[in-house]
Structures are given as structure tokens and as C-alpha cells.
Amino acid sequence: MDLINKLRDNGNRITESRSTICKILEEAGHEHFTADELYKLALNRVQDIDLATVYRTLEILESLDLVEHSHQQHGSGIYYLKNQERTAHIVCNSCKKIKDISKNVINSVEKIIAKESNFNLIDNHFVYAGVCNKCK
């Protein structure tokens, strides 16, 4: 995925800060970041970046359907490169490890929710929480 060219193709300015954010996301693959974590990583590469630039860049990338975010119960949202298929996540309350939940599990849960609520589900942006096997 070439985020920088996709931003440019959609009329967005490409600054050193914005380019750095895109490179970090691409290098990380489907890794999950809070905006603050992404800011700290970018700050190691370019000195004149601010947190607002990170949020604006993530917002633009999300509007172009290249990045998604999910909301955690207590804490910052997490951002990640969008896959072809929808994903859901679970975070360990102890070590903060974030794991994708399998498509089969998501589909099963969504079928139950749709049946019980009589809604046609479109999307969700939240993260399940628990304690991983390592931290039990």
C-alpha cells in the first residue's frame, strides 16, 4: 500500500511529518497504535512533528478508507491499516497486548446481535477487553 501517493492523488499536501507517519504505518503492517504511540515513533524520525499532525493525518487516511480505528473502553482509540475484511480486536487489560479476533468469531457474534436486536449490522468501532493467557 502506498499511502503517500494515495494522499497525494487525493489532493493532500505531503509534508515530512505526514510522510513519516505513513511510512511507520506501512512498515508496521497491521500493527495497532494509539495516536500518542504513533506520535512518539514519528518524533524519533522527525523533530518538528506535533500530535495534532498525527491526528489530522490519521483522520485523512481514515476518510480515504485506508486506516481504521477502534475505541477502547478506557484509553485512547487504536489505529491500524485497513484490511480487505473487517476486523475486531481484544486487548489485555494487564499487558495491553492487542489481538485480532477471527472473522468466524466476529460473524457468529454479529449474527446473534442482529437476531436479538432486529438490526442489520453495518459496522462497529470498539475493542473487547480481557486478560490474555500469559497474564492470567
pLDDT values of the chain reduced to their tens digit, one per residue, 136 residues: 799 999 999 999 999 999 999 999 999 887 888 899 999 999 999 999 999 999 999 999 999 989 988 877 666 788 888 875 667 888 888 988 888 888 888 888 888 989 999 998 777 767 788 899 999 8
Domain presence at residue 56: yes
Q: Are strands 98-101 and 88-92 parallel, antiparallel or unpaired?
A: antiparallel
Same domain, yes or no, for 29 and 61? Answer: yes
Number of domains in the chain: 2
Domain presence at residue 46: yes
Q: Read off the pTM.
A: 0.73
CB 99 within 8 A of CB 89: yes
CB 66 within 8 A of CB 81: yes
